[in-house]
């Protein structure tokens, strides 16, 4: 019982921090490009985590795990951050969060193939209805044409699902915080390629944007990912944790209204409602 309760807490902390990122990213990208924001966000996260290393008991990294660490850095931070920011820049926060909420569906399907995790009939049903919810958003908002922003968000969803699966393997040997730190460090090193562009852009950035970048780096990145990985470490299966992402659209919509005065369109409300109602009923069968 204690084990199940703990992963709920870790997952909730992450979802709150990530929901904030959808809104704040759109505000900051009025002054910065998606690449520069990605680099600054994880530079801050890396500095925060680096400051914790003297107080942690870290296991020596084995050379055979370097490839896996690089993969988690690429999927969860380097490539994902680029795709996520490009998508969020073109699509409002509420719609973006609904698209990213397909990650549990993708993760469950991937984990079924890779880890042979059992998917119940209700989970298969949840997957199908989630897809319908996203389809409603896509069709009602753009007809049968998928916008460039939605394309980036779909790519981001695939990358985050891949990261979830890779991290599940990494935490079998290393602690949640160490595996997250290694992945963030790897991703940040890759994002250094955007350093020249970032230097040029930050010269004219406002103080408020600096504060928002710090918030995203500390809370939406460092704290969120450590908490997310910890949830995977203590949970019995991947789906129990990743299903929490279905809550993100509701929280992001509320934050978008309060912080950025963004009102979700009809397609987002309909599609998001389907996913949220589905999640509420499916929650009783998992975790």
pLDDT in tens, 103-113: 877 887 887 77
Secondary structure of 258-274 in the HEC alphabet?
HHHCCCCCHHHHHHHHH
Mean pLDDT, consecutive 10-residue stretches, the chain (287 aa), reads: 68 92 94 95 95 88 95 96 93 83 79 74 69 64 62 92 88 88 96 96 93 96 89 76 76 85 71 62 45
Give the pLDDT confidence score for residue 98 in this predicted structure: 78
pTM of the model: 0.81
Would you tell me how many other CB atoms lie within 10 Å of the CB of residue 67? 9
Q: What is the pLDDT of residues 195-217, one digit of tens each?
A: 999 999 998 899 999 999 999 99
Give the pLDDT of residue 272: 65
Whole-number pLDDT of residue 278: 59
Q: How many CB atoms lie within 10 A of CB 126?
A: 26
CA dist 212 and 121 (Å) reads: 42
Q: What is the spatial distance between Cα 282 and Cα 160, in angstroms, rounded to a whole number?
A: 21
Two tokens, residue 145: 């044409």
Q: Which of 55, 14, 49 is nearest to 185 (CA)?
A: 49
The owner of tokens 């910065």 is 32
Give me the sign of the Cα torsion angle 117, 121, 123, 128.
positive
């Amino acid at each position: 019982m204690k084990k199940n309760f703990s992963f709920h807490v870790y997952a909730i902390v992450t979802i709150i921090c990530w929901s904030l990122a959808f809104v704040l990213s759109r505000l900051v990208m009025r002054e910065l490009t998606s690449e520069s924001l990605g680099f600054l966000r994880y530079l801050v996260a890396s500095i925060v985590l680096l400051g914790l290393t003297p107080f942690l008991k870290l296991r020596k990294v084995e050379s055979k795990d370097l490839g896996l660490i690089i993969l988690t850095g690429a999927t969860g931070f380097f490539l994902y951050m680029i795709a996520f920011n490009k998508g969020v820049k073109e699509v409002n926060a509420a719609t973006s969060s609904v698209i990213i909420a397909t990650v549990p569906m993708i993760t469950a399907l991937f984990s079924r193939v890779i880890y042979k995790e059992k998917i119940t009939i209700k989970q298969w049903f949840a997957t199908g209805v989630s897809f319908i919810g996203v389809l409603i958003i896509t069709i009602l908002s753009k007809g049968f044409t998928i916008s460039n922003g939605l394309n980036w968000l779909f790519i981001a969803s695939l990358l985050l699902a891949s990261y979830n699966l890779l991290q599940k393997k990494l935490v079998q040997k290393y602690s949640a915080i160490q595996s997250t730190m290694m992945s963030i460090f790897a991703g940040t090193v890759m994002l250094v390629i955007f350093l020249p562009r970032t230097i040029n852009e930050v010269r004219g950035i406002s103080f408020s944007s600096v504060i928002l970048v710090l918030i995203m780096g500390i809370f939406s990145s460092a704290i969120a990912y450590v908490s997310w990985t910890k949830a995977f470490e203590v949970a019995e299966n991947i789906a129990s944790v990743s299903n929490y992402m279905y809550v993100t659209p509701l929280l992001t919509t509320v934050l978008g209204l309060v912080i950025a005065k963004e009102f979700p369109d009809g397609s987002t409300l309909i599609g998001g409602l389907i996913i949220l109602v589905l999640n509420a009923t499916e929650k009783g069968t998992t975790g």
